[in-house]
Amino acid sequence: MDVTVQDNPGRNRFELLLDGEVGGFADYRRRDGAVVVVHSEVDPAHRGKGLGGELARGTLDAFRERGEKVVPACAFFARYVADHPEYGDIVAG
């Protein structure tokens, strides 16, 4: 399976593409000079395969490349950042 994560700025979300089809997403909003990840989900048919981690990693790496700070308001992203301290430098306040 080909797995990619790409920004869809028109929908304010990063999409997890599985063989070109959307299999998950992470919604975000811009606020006070940071990007707030407000919600994420992976299609139930694809859960338990580590794809949520792929979505989080791809999303956070893209924000890092852009020099943006992130507020992980989504419970999954907050847990992911807590478990992966290498992203601490991009977490806002």
91 burial level (CB within 10 Å; 0-12, 13-18, 19+): middle
What is the spatial distance between Cα 71 and Cα 47, in angstroms, rounded to a whole number?
A: 24
Whether 93 is covered by a domain: the verdict is no
**Banded pLDDT at 93 (limits 50, 70, 90):** confident
Q: What pLDDT shows up at residue 18?
A: 97
Q: Assess if residue 39 is contained within a domain.
A: yes
Q: Is residue 38 part of a domain?
A: yes
Q: What are phi and psi of 74, to 5 degrees?
A: -70, 135
CATH of residue 72: 3.40.630.30
- Cα 68 from Cα 20, distance rounded (Å): 27
Q: pLDDT band for position 67 (50/70/90)?
A: very high
Flag whether 40 is in a domain: yes
* Residue 68: pLDDT band with limits 50, 70, 90: very high
pTM for the predicted model, two decimal places: 0.96
State mean pLDDT over 48-70.
97
Q: What is the pLDDT of residue 5?
A: 98
Q: How many domains does the chain have?
A: 1
- Give the structural domain span for 31: 3-88
